[in-house]
Amino acid sequence: MKILILGGTAWLGRTIATTAIAAGHDVTCLARGTDVAPGTVVVRADRDRDDALASVSGELWDAVVDVSRQPGQVRRAVRDLEPVANRYIFVSSGNAYASQEEVGQDEDAPTLDPLDADVMASMDDYGAAKVACENAVVAGFGSDRTVIARAGLIGGPGDASGRSGYWPWRFAHPASDDGAVLAPDAAELPTAIIDVRDLAAWLVQRAEGGPTGVFNAAGTPVLFPEHLSVARAVAGHTGSIVHAPEDWLTDRGVGEWSGARSLPLWLADRSWYGMNARSNARAMAAGLVLRPLADTLADTLDWERAKVESGPHGAGLTDSEERELLANLDRRFDAEGGGHGPGDL
Ligand SMILES: NC(=O)c1ccc[n+]([C@@H]2O[C@H](COP(=O)([O-])OP(=O)(O)OC[C@H]3O[C@@H](n4cnc5c(N)ncnc54)[C@H](OP(=O)(O)O)[C@@H]3O)[C@@H](O)[C@H]2O)c1
């Protein structure tokens, strides 16, 4: 099959290209950069230009895979490629949904209002921009020729955000002399990661044919303590886990979810508890195969270890931040925190 990837120079797009090449497809990647997977044809173009797709819209394509987040880029791609492409696979996001609160939402949950503008003003527009992109694809190609993959949190080797790598890495490299690791006391927090390789494999399958429509392409939710337990086992950690109350962490400037001085994956605000707890039943029924979380975290740990030679992981606490916080935490909180004492995951 001939597959056109709009993107292909970044993490997911490159993994899709590698997977499609391994499956024997002819793959062309269109992007501004040239760092594409071996075996792919690269077409350099800036999608912010109106004529960006001129050099690919004269060919027939079995499938287009698009990872854009800019509505104007997608509107122009649909305009130029609908006459020559059989189906359009759009990588959207769970951020398209109007609410991130309800646990277990399926694809029929309401979405945000679409962004009118062609370009996001900031990442605050991300979800609305994805809705506008989705709408443009469905309007142009019709539901029968469209796959909308609302991806959940993507993890695995190559995750520069550090969200999937931090916990296995931290358990493998405790900062504290006694091996203790600091974690938020978030016993009810749902967490879900889809391995980038599983997502790419499913997207290539969808490019090949079969079910169309809207899918939550997300990992299966587990509670945060279970996620920590898997990360700890993968890392061979035998020290304790010290659970800090959420407001204690917030008061000390420890961030949630991602970034520097954060505890990755942690969400204190209950109105975000649905973000990583969506139903993936429709995608599973449509062939999505998820590897065990332990395999994803083990491979991500290997990748983090190799990367740490050249620089630190992308999120979390530094060793000195971790040691300082542990030193200041009154560990009686553990006893008061509802039975989540050190190491009792
Ligand atoms: N990470 C997560 O947890 C998560 C969760 C949900 C959904 N998602 C979605 O998953 C996808 C991730 O894709 P990705 O990893 O491949 O990364 P990405 O950074 O979103 O990829 C952007 C791609 O588009 C290309 N691009 C950007 N601007 C362009 C322009 N003006 N002209 C031509 N090409 C342009 C980039 O190539 P050049 O820079 O070389 O041009 C790159 O290949 C995105 O759709 C994202 O919204 C991610």
Measured CA to CA, the distance from residue 143 to residue 124 in angstroms comes to 28
Measured CA to CA, the distance from residue 244 to residue 296 in angstroms comes to 26
Question: Length of the chain in residues, anyone?
Answer: 345
DSSP assignment of 105-170, as one string?
--TTSPBPPPP-SSS-SSGGGHHHHHHHHHHHHHHHH-GGGEEEEEE--EESTT-TT-TTTHHHHH
Per-residue pLDDT, averaged over 107-114, amounts to 98
Q: Which of 34, 46, 50, 67 to probe ligand 1 with, by most ligand atoms within 8 A of CB?
A: 67
Banded pLDDT at 181 (limits 50, 70, 90): very high
> Closest ligand 1 atom to the C-alpha of 29?
43
**Contact between residue 194 and residue 218 where contact means Cβ atoms under 8 Å apart:** yes
Residue nearest to atom 34 of ligand 1 (CA): 31
The closest of 164, 157, 117, 111 to 134, measured between CA atoms, is 111
Portion of the chain with pLDDT greater than 90, in percent: 92
- pLDDT score for 307: 79
Per-residue pLDDT, averaged over 22-30, amounts to 98
Could you tell me if the CB of 264 is within 6 A of ligand 1? no
Q: Which of 12, 27, 55, 150 to probe ligand 1 with, by most ligand atoms within 8 A of CB?
A: 12
- CA 10 to ligand 1 centroid distance, Å: 6
- Burial classification of residue 92, based on how many CB atoms lie within 10 Å of its CB (0-12 exposed, 13-18 middle, 19 or more buried): buried
Q: Which domains does the chain have, with CATH numbers?
A: 2-151 (3.40.50.720), 157-191+221-271+291-336 (no CATH)
Measured CA to CA, the distance from residue 171 to residue 57 in angstroms comes to 50
Supply the DSSP symbol for 270: G
Give pLDDT tens digits for 262-287: 999 999 999 999 999 999 999 999 99
Q: pTM here?
A: 0.95
CB atoms within 10 A of CB 51: 11
